[in-house]
Amino acid sequence: MSNTNSNLALVLNDAIKNDQFENALIAVKGIRPVDLADVLSQIEASLAWRLLERLPNRATVFSYLEPETQVRLAREFPRASLAKLVGEMPADERTDLFKHFDQSQRDALLPALAQAEREDIRKLSAYVEGTAGALMTSDYATLVKDMSVAEALAALRVEAPDAETIYHAYVIDQQRKLLGVVSLRELILSNPEALIKDLMVRDPIHSKVTDDQEEVAKKIARYDLIALPITDEKGAMVGIVTHDDAMDVASDEATEDFHRAGGVVSTVGNLKDATIGLLYRKRVFWLVLLVFGNLFSGAGIAHFEDIIAANLVLVFFLPLLVDSGGNAGSQSATLMVRALATGEVVMRDWMSLLGRETLVALCLGGTMALAVSILGYIRGDEVVALVLALSMVAIVLIGCIIGMSLPFVLSKMGFDPASASAPLITSVCDAAGVVIYLFIASQFLTLG
Amino acid sequence: MSNTNSNLALVLNDAIKNDQFENALIAVKGIRPVDLADVLSQIEASLAWRLLERLPNRATVFSYLEPETQVRLAREFPRASLAKLVGEMPADERTDLFKHFDQSQRDALLPALAQAEREDIRKLSAYVEGTAGALMTSDYATLVKDMSVAEALAALRVEAPDAETIYHAYVIDQQRKLLGVVSLRELILSNPEALIKDLMVRDPIHSKVTDDQEEVAKKIARYDLIALPITDEKGAMVGIVTHDDAMDVASDEATEDFHRAGGVVSTVGNLKDATIGLLYRKRVFWLVLLVFGNLFSGAGIAHFEDIIAANLVLVFFLPLLVDSGGNAGSQSATLMVRALATGEVVMRDWMSLLGRETLVALCLGGTMALAVSILGYIRGDEVVALVLALSMVAIVLIGCIIGMSLPFVLSKMGFDPASASAPLITSVCDAAGVVIYLFIASQFLTLG
């Protein structure tokens, strides 16, 4: 696929340079919009826009481009041509593009747009990023409850060119209050004289404009919806979120959690396009914080300096024991963070999960204690073996409890539970591990 | 939502016990199938089946239950009643249920099913778990290319009750070869006399039965499909995967990667239902392996025992330096693993990414070196500060290179790149960190 794309990009590049647009249009025939967008993004903007302008499905192809590429291409377009393209875009994509424009681009374009489009951009761009309002589109199909099925089908034929989906049509009253939903499937199966009000599913599943986009995606997944209607604070319908947008949100949210869990602050966009400066900023916070956090481990060591000096064999096992707590704790945190994200587990499950986690931790700690005490006996003696075994059980237990509790605690404090990252858990467990290990050692080993 | 559900469960429990099924049916009216499934799973199986049997949409509700609950309920059903329920289920759900039955349950039910359903189960259950074949359903709508639009709409009305979606209908020939796809949207917009062959999109996007389910989900997401047709090795159409199943797969795959990255072997299903034994088995492998892996750190320490004995201040900074490499490496691995999973980055990007990662690592290492050398100067002297600064830069650099390379190496070796878990990266970076730190220290510090 990717090789075909680069070859096609070369062919198109030459054709556009030589003004052979007919050849170029033949070459892209049958290429799907998302693939064509990939190809166009490999061609210089000053050439690409000239082909894009001539594509019959230009608005769809343009919508699939990355925002940065869209903005770059938009600069090349003559104003009238850009206004035409933007006018053809779906309302939600058009608004996203506008958000990425700088002020001069906005000022240049706005007067060239139709009144309805300007109004639409103004409304949609008012919603806070990350909410249902910022995700939804205003291109949806509506019906009136007193229509017959035949009238509804006729109405959908008129609405179809502009609506993102006509498979679900929403029944609204004069105040645009959402009364019900009818599927196209039901419509074509029903008697043409039947009335929409008798056919519609009343009180349909919906979200509010202010709802978190993650909640919207979860609702669409849970109820297997093609689209979810969005209402404003007065219950009036203002948009829909479609299943494909929900899938993108779910993927982005998973990426964000994944990054947080690995100690990277929020998302970095497409990794390939991320700059060094951006990556540095997203990563340095946790790393430096943890340098200072690790001072607690150091303080623990300093406190037990004498026992270490007298028993240097302890240092040999220090990384092993300390890491084991962090490793077990990371596992616990990982399981918990993802279960909280998918909704499998909720806050009030914490107590019951803690009991089970304790038992799992004792089993894991016991197994690891067995392994480490054999090593301790070989390298030291039976006292060292005992110290190691006891320390291991205690450290793994504490690590697991920290690892599973931290996501809940962070969540209670208003942070994303995924901020319970591996580096954070590791550092907290390390400090605890050092103290536990050296304290137990000081009980069994002498200073000389 | 959850509280409403538990209250409803109590009400239903009482109603069923007292044979007041009319009351129970009134109470569940308007409750959506997935929510009703939640409620039923809170009621004892010996009661729940009696209500389920009486629900008009029992097959839909039953399909939303967790597999374990389905099997438990199935044991309570009289055979004829169970056969009826199973016959009403969508083909893919029915096959999944069968896979969860034990042999005696299968033997009891099979003879009671219709011939076509038996055949369907036999065919669908032959596909390997995790492939398109195991995910797809055989309930889809087909058309013939010489039909007119009016004939096609009539055909879809007949097929609708059994098809999972009629929004996309697939055009096949007599050998069931997939020729094209038509959307219901186009059908209702077209002239009733137009022919399907002139309307259909030829060579539609499709997957093979043997394709990985992750690839199927990615295709549905990339092309914003409602359903993806699946063909066998001869190009004959055998099923479809719908958008909602793709969304579930994407979520499950994200969970699996998330768990792997946290050092938990494969998935544990719903975390709340996981037993202690299961959690122990999924976690103990990495933990014990890493105990032995940490011996390399220990060996490094043993090698430099004299320099440690002479400069105990080194031990104070040991966890800090060693953790920093693991932390930075975990970040690199996290970014890389997720980018490989979403397809943002592919194998051949490695070399170009390595260059950028080196620069990011030097910036991060430099910042952290500054922080740690101040601490070193306070606690030790300027030589210690220098040793710490140099070690930090080297350790962070090596950590980042290991962290970003390991996912690629694992992928090359045929493992899931997500196996480059935080615990593994931490252990590898720890061993490297110990050696780097103590080697640099031995160059600057004396033995006495």
pLDDT in tens, A365-380: 999 999 999 888 888 8
Question: Per-residue pLDDT averaged across A217-236, rounded?
Answer: 94
Instruction: Write out chain B residues lying below 8 Å of A224, CB-based.
Output: 34, 244
Pick from A157-171, A187-201, B404-418: least confident: B404-418
pLDDT of residue A240: 96
**What distance in Å separates the CA atoms of residue B335 and residue B236, rounded to the nearest whole number?**
40
pLDDT of residue A448: 56
Query: pLDDT by residue (tens digit) across B9-54?
Result: 999 999 999 999 999 999 998 899 999 999 998 899 999 999 999 9
> What ipTM was predicted for this assembly?
0.80
CB atoms within 10 A of CB A443: 10
Determine the CATH number of domain B135-243.
3.10.580.10
Backbone angles phi, psi at B29, to 5 degrees: -65, 135
pLDDT of residue B1: 44
Half-sphere exposure of A337 (CA within 13 A, CB side): 38
Six token digits for residue B218 = 């990615």
Helix or strand holding residue A144 (H, E): none
Helix or strand holding residue A101 (H, E): none
**Pairing mode, if any, of strands B237-242 and B227-231?**
antiparallel
pLDDT level of residue B307 (50, 70, 90 thresholds) = confident
pLDDT of residue A19: 92
pLDDT of residue A154: 94
Strand partners of residue A237: A231
pLDDT of residue A268: 59
pLDDT at B419 over 80: no
pLDDT of residue A52: 94
**What distance in Å separates the CA atoms of residue B241 and residue B250, rounded to the nearest whole number?**
13
**What distance in Å separates the CA atoms of residue A418 and residue A423, rounded to the nearest whole number?**
12
pLDDT of residue A252: 87
pLDDT at B273 over 80: no
Question: Per-residue pLDDT averaged across A298-306, rounded?
Answer: 85
Residues in contact with B277: Cβ distance below 8 Å, sequence separation at least 6, in sequence order: none
Residues of B (146-175) whose Cβ lies below 8 Å from A: 153, 156-157, 160, 166-167
Say if residue A144 is exposed, middle or buried (CB neighbours under 10 Å; 0-12, 13-18, 19+): middle
Pick from A93-97, B85-89, B342-346: least confident: B342-346
Helix or strand holding residue A178 (H, E): strand A178-183
Q: Is the dihedral of CA A178, B185, A216, A181 positive or negative?
A: positive
Q: For tokens 């996203």, what's the residue?
A: A96
Q: Which residue has the higher pLDDT, B191 or A2?
A: B191
Backbone angles phi, psi at B274, to 5 degrees: -70, 135
Interface probe with B: pick from A3, A35, A184, A279, most Cβ of B within 10 Å: A279
DSSP states of B135-202: H-BS---EE-TT-BHHHHHHHHHHHTTT-S-SSEEEEE-TT-BEEEEEEHHHHHHS-TTSBHHHHSEE
Nearest to B339 by CA among A262, A1, A37, A71: A262
**What are the residue ranges of helices labelled H in A347-381?**
350-379
pLDDT of residue B149: 96
pLDDT of residue B278: 80
Residues in contact with B306: Cβ distance below 8 Å, sequence separation at least 6, in sequence order: B447
Q: For tokens 């219901």, what's the residue?
A: B184
CB atoms within 10 A of CB B134: 18
pLDDT at B269 over 70: no
Q: For tokens 């990252």, what's the residue?
A: A421
Size of interface A-B (CB pairs under 8 A): 333
Q: Can you give the residue ranges of every domain in chain B?
A: 1-126, 135-243, 276-444
A276-444 shares the fold of A1-126:
no
pLDDT level of residue A152 (50, 70, 90 thresholds) = very high
pLDDT of residue B266: 60
- Of 1.25.60.10, 3.30.360.10, 1.10.1040.10, 1.10.238.10, the CATH number of A1-126 is 1.25.60.10
CB atoms within 10 A of CB A177: 13
Nearest to B214 by CA among B245, B238, B181: B245
Residues of B (112-131) whose Cβ lies below 8 Å from A: none
**What distance in Å separates the CA atoms of residue B409 and residue A377, rounded to the nearest whole number?**
36
Contact A321, A394 (CB under 8 A): no
Quick check: B276 and A360 CB within 8 A?
yes
Question: Per-residue pLDDT averaged across B341-362, rounded?
Answer: 85
Identify residue A403 by its one-letter amino acid code: G
Quick one: DSSP state of residue B248?
A: H
Query: pLDDT by residue (tens digit) across A171-200?
Result: 999 999 999 999 999 999 999 999 999 999
pLDDT of residue A290: 79
Six token digits for residue B239 = 């099923």
- The pTM of the full predicted model, rounded to 2 decimals, is 0.81
**What distance in Å separates the CA atoms of residue B33 and residue A89, rounded to the nearest whole number?**
36
Q: What percent of chain B has pLDDT over 90?
A: 51
Nearest to A244 among B32, B224, B326 (CB): B224
pLDDT at B365 over 90: yes
Quick check: A262 and B318 CB within 8 A?
no
In sequence order, what E strands does B197-314 have?
Answer: 201-202, 207-208, 227-231, 237-242
**What distance in Å separates the CA atoms of residue B375 and residue A298, rounded to the nearest whole number?**
11
pLDDT of residue A318: 86
pLDDT at A315 over 80: yes
- Helix A422-444 crosses helix A382-412 at what angle (to 10 degrees)? 150
**What distance in Å separates the CA atoms of residue A19 and residue A440, rounded to the nearest whole number?**
80
Residues of B (288-317) whose Cβ lies below 8 Å from A: 288, 290-292, 294-295, 297-298, 301-302, 305, 308-309, 312, 315-317
CB atoms within 10 A of CB B381: 11
- Of 3.10.350.10, 1.10.357.20, 3.40.50.720, 3.40.50.2000, the CATH number of A276-444 is 1.10.357.20
Q: Which residue has the higher pLDDT, A293 or B114?
A: B114
Say if residue B364 is exposed, middle or buried (CB neighbours under 10 Å; 0-12, 13-18, 19+): buried
pLDDT at B420 over 80: no
Instruction: Write out chain A residues lying below 8 Å of B336, CB-based.
Output: 271
pLDDT level of residue A1 (50, 70, 90 thresholds) = very low
Contact A91, A138 (CB under 8 A): yes
**What distance in Å separates the CA atoms of residue B199 and residue B181, rounded to the nearest whole number?**
9
